[in-house]
Amino acid sequence: MSLSEPIDALVIGAGPAGLMAAECLAQAGRRVVICDAKPSPARKFLMAGKSGLNLMNAAPLDTQIAQYAEAADWLAPMLHRFGPDQIRAWAEGLGQDLFTGSSGRIFPKSMKASPLLRAWLARLDQISVEIRRGWRWQGGAFDFTTPNGARSLAPQVTVLALGGASWARLGSDGAWAEILAARGIPLAPFQPANMGFRVAWSPHMAPHFGQPIKGAWLLAGSQSIRAEFVISGKGIEGGAIYALSRALREGAALTIDLFPDLSAPQIAQRLSRQPAKLSTTNRLRRALKLEGARLALALELGHDIPTNPAQLKALALPLLGPRPMDEAISTAGGIPRAALTDQLMLRDWPGTFAAGEMLDWEAPTGGYLLTACLATGHWAGTHAARF
């Protein structure tokens, strides 16, 4: 390993939290170097924006803070300091006009992450933030493998923003956990969040893989939601499942109401009007307009529907557990609150701060993930600049 290169401020990780921390450090007058293992920054951010970058949510701030469950009081000061209103002003300052969708989710009008990221990187370049691509942190103090061999840095202050442990090919591989554990820093185990679940479908479901189920009401423990989900060859996924994923991960049973606008007696009455000679499939089609994937799901899970139509109000879907963590949209676990000061500095590593998905919090999709990544990045960068 070569002699350590002295630098002022180091940020490891070029995702949203790391870029925000770097911006705060640089605006405070620090000379910032960002190191990222990938050849281009913010790959997971770009992937999130391919189908529409859900930057934040329009719900009242207190309502949003509640979405972070047990981490709500921890994150609240950060979200008050740099929450949805500030993120809106920041994005618009980068030339990105925003709009609010019917669900309350807020997107750039371009819908993509790439225009915002290009403008953001240009701003960082203007304030002399240096990005070193292909620099993978190896541990030690700040030792890296780089395209030009091993290098070591000696920063005055550091912000770690290496992401969680999903989508490893995009850079968020959780390998940093071994580095911190080797330093004696306690960590909460990683768990998938906002993920799909495995289901052992029978062969008759195969033609319906990839099809959405719309308008159903889903219940998991004390949580419920009316939203769309998707049947896949691997199981189930989609917005409704992600919203319930924590309860399902923790063991809640999943039941599905295919007819939330009809009572069980109304369903029974409609079925009773059909000729008894009709097959179950045709009775469901004629009486309830069931077809396609919805019909397939009813037949898969409701084996006694004609004599017990209430099953359509509570189809039990046995789950075989979450899909692999690397497929999850986000992860829970990481650096717990107890290992950090109120400024997000590691208690056992003075001068080293952490932000984003490295921290032990989780939230549903809907803008809350990016909001907290940006808020914690802003908080860590602001306090690191003063160190």
Together in a domain, 292 and 346? no
Together in a domain, 186 and 232? no
Q: Which among 259, 289, 316 is the end of a domain?
A: 316
282 confidence band (pLDDT: 50, 70, 90): very high
Together in a domain, 185 and 202? no
1 confidence band (pLDDT: 50, 70, 90): very low
In whole angstroms, what separates CA 99 from the centre of its chain? Answer: 21
2 confidence band (pLDDT: 50, 70, 90): low
Together in a domain, 21 and 164? yes
Together in a domain, 210 and 267? yes
Together in a domain, 69 and 167? yes
- Concatenating the DSSP letter of every residue in 196-254 gives -EE----GGGGGGTT-EE-S-EEEETTEEEE--EEE-SSEEESHHHHHHHHHHHTT--E
Dihedral sign, Cα of residue 309, residue 242, residue 181, residue 167:
positive
- Residue 171 above 90 pLDDT? yes
96 confidence band (pLDDT: 50, 70, 90): very high
Q: Which domain holds residue 131?
A: 5-192+328-385
Q: Which among 295, 316, 337 is the end of a domain?
A: 316
pTM over 0.85: yes
Of 343, 310, 351, 331, which Cα lies nearest the Cα of 157?
A: 351
Interval 147-176 mean pLDDT: 96
Tokens of 288: 């309830």
Total domain count, the chain: 2
Interval 116-140 mean pLDDT: 97
Angle between helices 368-385 and 16-27 (to 10 degrees): 30
Together in a domain, 157 and 45? yes
Together in a domain, 147 and 37? yes
pLDDT at position 51 = 79
Q: Which among 316, 341, 371 is the end of a domain?
A: 316
- Residue 359 above 90 pLDDT? yes
Angle at 374 between CA 51 and CA 103, to 5 degrees: 45
Together in a domain, 234 and 169? no
Together in a domain, 188 and 248? no
Distance CA 274, CA 228 (A): 29
Q: Using an 8 Å Cβ cutoff, are 213 and 293 in contact?
A: yes
